[in-house]
Chain A
């Protein structure tokens, strides 16, 4: 069963170059681990919310606004799509994401559509 792990962090956190380097290493290690374990389906960091554009179509008119969907204390910064046998396993994987220690990770099951 697949789960989406949505990573929320405070973008404004200031990290020194050394801290940033360490964080990157942690993410690489984590990703490699779950790839090896066959759990990784997809995953990417996202560019910050300053690059976001929000799209609405109302009455046939496309409206775009600058910025993320909502202003929040923590912002969506990345995601992983993982394979796990149940929620407990998905939660265990999410807990290993570095952002879980400083931000939050939302765990959402993928709805399987019968196409």
Chain B
């Protein structure tokens, strides 16, 4: 098996393998270490001895043996580990049955809910989900969230320790609490996607790898919980946004606005899948927030040119979203859609109303949006003020450069005449 194929196996199978191992070994940390050891062994042995017929079963079996060895070594000093060893050896028979392809479909579901347990801090939930379900390395996750590797490693270790020490159960939540727990899981996936789609810090606006992982997680959830229409909504949302990835950044790494994007660069296959999912999710009345956001993305995706965009529908959808999940950010988005549908003045009024309440005073997009509308109205002085305010608050480099360019354009008008 070529090294690239082993890496693909690692990425795609890590979640399943870890899930099975946790079930067998009853210990998150042990499962993680054992899986790593087994993959390291595979990297050494498979090129020489050839790929086993059932790679996943090989990894699981090898990992289990390594874990038992470790427990044996440590059990002389630790009664708890000795207990674990006895239980593990008892499971030996059951373990072989689990290695086959017909492995229990539940396992990854258990894993997702455990990783996203509310007793863990949200950043720990995100890190653990990416590590155990997507097989991202600690280094990759640290890079994605721009924290030192040691910090991320500690975060993961602490999270696993808490799962064990506090005995966070390794199970799918019971029906009565499943809906709220599922909401937490979807929120984690949404956060991961958000970070990938518009990274809050650093030079790269788009972290394609995070978007891909978020889509993967959303897909797993849809597969494992087909009854969840919000799961479908979230998958649709991520697919539709991610479909625009190649058009959002210019060759020189600059931000390209939606209205300026080369729509031939949009991934049509992904859009098609997203649109079907949106229709599906919207059929299940009442539509949830993810389905609504996906529907908004769908309206954009259906327009072959910016001028064809049905802004009225977008404004209406934001209206529904406001009723479901009222928030000043949603209100701001709606104001922008209204500006496009009913005229800039109308949109500006709505944004002024938000600002008058003192809301979003630290949110760079409030100033960027208002600045943009003022610019369209040729109110140069006020536009410049807003762009400067946005620049004080923006954190991502490509966005900062974009705003700086806008400010320069506006300032040129102030000096009398363009250019």
Contacts and interface: CB of A to CB of B under 8 A. Distances in A.
A87 B166 contact: yes
A41 B173 CA distance: 26
A30 to B, nearest CB: 20
B164 to A, nearest CB: 10
Interface range on chain B (Cβ under 8 Å from partner): 10 to 19
The prevalent SS among residues of A at the interface is loop
A46 interface: no
A26 interface: no
Interface string A71-115: 000000000000001111001000000000000000101011010
Interface centre among A88, A107, A111, A112 (most CB of B within 10 A): A88
B25 to A, nearest CB: 17
B90 interface: no
B222 interface: no
Interface in B138-183: 165-169, 173
Interface in B212-260: none
B169 A87 contact: yes
Contacts of A85: 167, 169
A115 to B, nearest CB: 10
A1 interface: yes
A1 B79 contact: no
The prevalent SS among residues of B at the interface is loop
A109 B79 contact: no
Contacts of A88: 168-169, 173
B361 interface: no
A109 B165 contact: yes
B280 interface: no
Contact of A87 (B79, B80, B119, B173): B119
A64 B398 CA distance: 59
Contacts of A114: 79-80
Contacts of B117: 87
Contacts of A111: 165
A111 B161 CA distance: 13
A46 B285 CA distance: 52
Contacts of B173: 88
Contacts of A86: 167-169
Nearest to B78: A114
Interface string A10-31: 0000000000000000000000
Nearest to B173: A88
Contacts of B166: 87, 107, 109
B170 to A, nearest CB: 9
Interface in B88-136: 117, 119
Nearest to B174: A88
A115 B221 CA distance: 45
A93 to B, nearest CB: 14
A109 B164 CA distance: 10
Nearest to B169: A86
A85 B168 CA distance: 10
A30 B143 CA distance: 49
A111 B165 CA distance: 8
A85 B119 CA distance: 16
A86 B165 CA distance: 10
Interface string B67-97: 0000000000001100000000000000000
A41 to B, nearest CB: 16
Contacts of B169: 85-88
Interface centre among A85, A87, A112, A114 (most CB of B within 10 A): A87
A109 B167 CA distance: 8
A87 B173 CA distance: 12
Contacts of B79: 114
A88 B165 CA distance: 13
Contacts of A109: 165-167
A47 to B, nearest CB: 29
Interface of A: 1, 85-88, 91, 107, 109, 111-112, 114
6 contacts: A1-B167, A86-B167, A87-B167, A88-B169, A88-B173, A109-B166
> Which 9 pairs across A and B sit closest by C-beta, in order of nearness?
A86-B169, A86-B167, A114-B79, A87-B166, A87-B168, A109-B166, A88-B169, A87-B167, A1-B167
Given A86-B168, A87-B166, A88-B169, 7 more contacts: A87-B167, A87-B168, A88-B168, A91-B119, A107-B166, A111-B165, A114-B80
